[in-house]
Chains A and B, each alone.
Chain A
């Protein structure tokens, strides 16, 4: 059923069978992996965190810049209100404790893409702390059934992004377009155990952030970047030395990098080696992590309070004065993914797997809800057609669901035609294929023009089944001698002979009756 969705797993780095056994075996002598994530999410604003320069992704080099961004002396930071609102909204969606007062710090490091020599961040008194996110872990092809787990969020802080430096043979080129772009840094506690959990957390986070509109989550544009901390140890031993793989730019990359890193660390430890506390990078082409620089000597960032920004006061509870009102923002929170999954199960009778797949794929959920809006449809049938037939057509055309705009009214019409027995699911697939290939006619027109209406007439179906029996003596003999498994082959031949138009439920009964004579 979920074959098409499994391809996301196979492309990643996959650990050897021995290592998979060694990680998953519950014996005390086996390795346990510990994974924590830090996520930098670009806040969805038109201007930067402390300056009025734009944040467009594809602007020409050095055109999204203000005097403040290039650190001209005398310029001062002015905080963007929407960044505070979106930071608070995100914190609330992640069940964090929003702090009534937070402060800004300077984190010093000298690098050309931050001309001021420091990044303004919220290291000591962040916007929010102590969140918790429950999510479902389910990678079709990797997990047989979904399971629920949770991760704690240590803190959420507002901070500036840095610019971009390109390195030539003997020189470096600086583009300050990203310098000062607003980020939310989300620090998760190391509560995860492998790459699949990390990928599931990330998918959940992306769904939440897109739902509340605080981040576009376009990883290909750098709007969401992930650092993964990984260590391995044996049960009962203290935690192992961790490595940090920086700036992973895709969900698959996160799963692959973590799997590779767990595998690499176990191999080193098994052969008597020690893990270096180091920063690594994910090589998405070769599916490996490579060392970047060692962290033996912790760099001293010399944090100091940012003197140009007074503490940020928020209005909440009895405190009415503040830059933004936390209680109003809480009221504006939309339905969150976990609530949607529950609703899909309660209101439409979907199973957990179906609800997870629909919520993870925004375009599926939109099609599902759009199709239901004006018709009374069976939820399970609708979900199955989306997850199986629709996905299958997209897969054959090598399309991602997000690349296709399918009219939900048309989708609803197709489901209704299947539901009322006018077409089979196989025909539904042909209609979907026609429309995705650019046929603009409505589903019923396409069906009529192609003579695809389902054959339900009892006599016509009996004739069809009889013909198949007569033309396939060998299979019929096998069936009658006790090989009942071949029944499916005969049924398949009926479907093919009718050009997928036969009502298969009726054919199943008719064929059995004819064969028993």
Chain B
């Protein structure tokens, strides 16, 4: 199992574009440690002869959508969760330097 460190937490935060302080990283680290210890119990289970699963339920995907009659939402609906907009574009802070 991957070793969680404060450095790893900071690295992952950077990947998802979050800036976190040392205190916040410490707090996340403590939480992660607790969760990790719980998961460690799972590693003690005997899984000999059991194949890894990709999906937890024994179901087969039989429903696919037919490729017809495309539908859209309105521009107003589209902007529901947008931070701000400029005409028809979603407007965000500049993401490249």
Residues of A within 8 A of B (CB): 45-47, 52-55, 60-67, 70-72, 78-84, 103, 108-112, 115, 117, 124-125, 165-176, 299-300, 305, 307, 309-313, 321-324
The answer to whether A61 touches B89 (Cβ under 8 A) is yes
Residues of B within 8 A of A108 (CB): 15-16
The answer to whether A112 touches B64 (Cβ under 8 A) is no
Cα distance, A310 to B54, chains bound together (Å) = 9
The answer to whether B73 touches A112 (Cβ under 8 A) is no
The answer to whether A84 touches B64 (Cβ under 8 A) is yes
The answer to whether B96 touches A172 (Cβ under 8 A) is yes
Given A46-B68, A67-B73, A171-B93: A61 and B63 interface contact (C-beta under 8 Å): no
The answer to whether A80 touches B67 (Cβ under 8 A) is yes
Interface residues as binary, B1-20 with A (CB distance below 8 Å gives 1, 0 otherwise): 00000000000100111000
Min Cβ gap B83→A in Å is 10
Chain A residues touching B, majority SS: loop
Choose from B60, B61, B65, B91 the contact partner of A80 (Cβ within 8 Å): B65
Residues of B within 8 A of A172 (CB): 91-96
Min Cβ gap A111→B in Å is 7
Choose from B57, B70, B78 the contact partner of A62 (Cβ within 8 Å): B78
Cα distance, A363 to B47, chains bound together (Å) = 60
B59 CB-CB contact with A under 8 Å: yes
Residues of A within 8 A of B89 (CB): 61-62, 166, 173-175
Residues of A within 8 A of B44 (CB): none
The answer to whether B67 touches A82 (Cβ under 8 A) is yes
Cα distance, A383 to B76, chains bound together (Å) = 57
Cα distance, A235 to B64, chains bound together (Å) = 51
The answer to whether B81 touches A70 (Cβ under 8 A) is yes
The answer to whether B95 touches A47 (Cβ under 8 A) is no
Residues of A within 8 A of B65 (CB): 47, 52, 78-81
Beyond the given A112-B92, A310-B60, A324-B64, could you list 17 further A-B residue pairs with CB under 8 A, ordered by the A residue number? A46-B68, A47-B68, A54-B70, A55-B70, A61-B87, A61-B89, A63-B75, A67-B77, A72-B80, A115-B81, A171-B94, A172-B91, A172-B94, A173-B92, A300-B15, A305-B55, A310-B61
B66 CB-CB contact with A under 8 Å: yes
Min Cβ gap B64→A in Å is 4
Cα distance, A341 to B93, chains bound together (Å) = 54
B22 CB-CB contact with A under 8 Å: no
Residues of A within 8 A of B96 (CB): 167, 172
Which of A45, A55, A172 lies at the interface centre, i.e. has the most chain B CB atoms within 10 A of its CB? Answer: A172
Min Cβ gap B18→A in Å is 9
The answer to whether A47 touches B67 (Cβ under 8 A) is yes
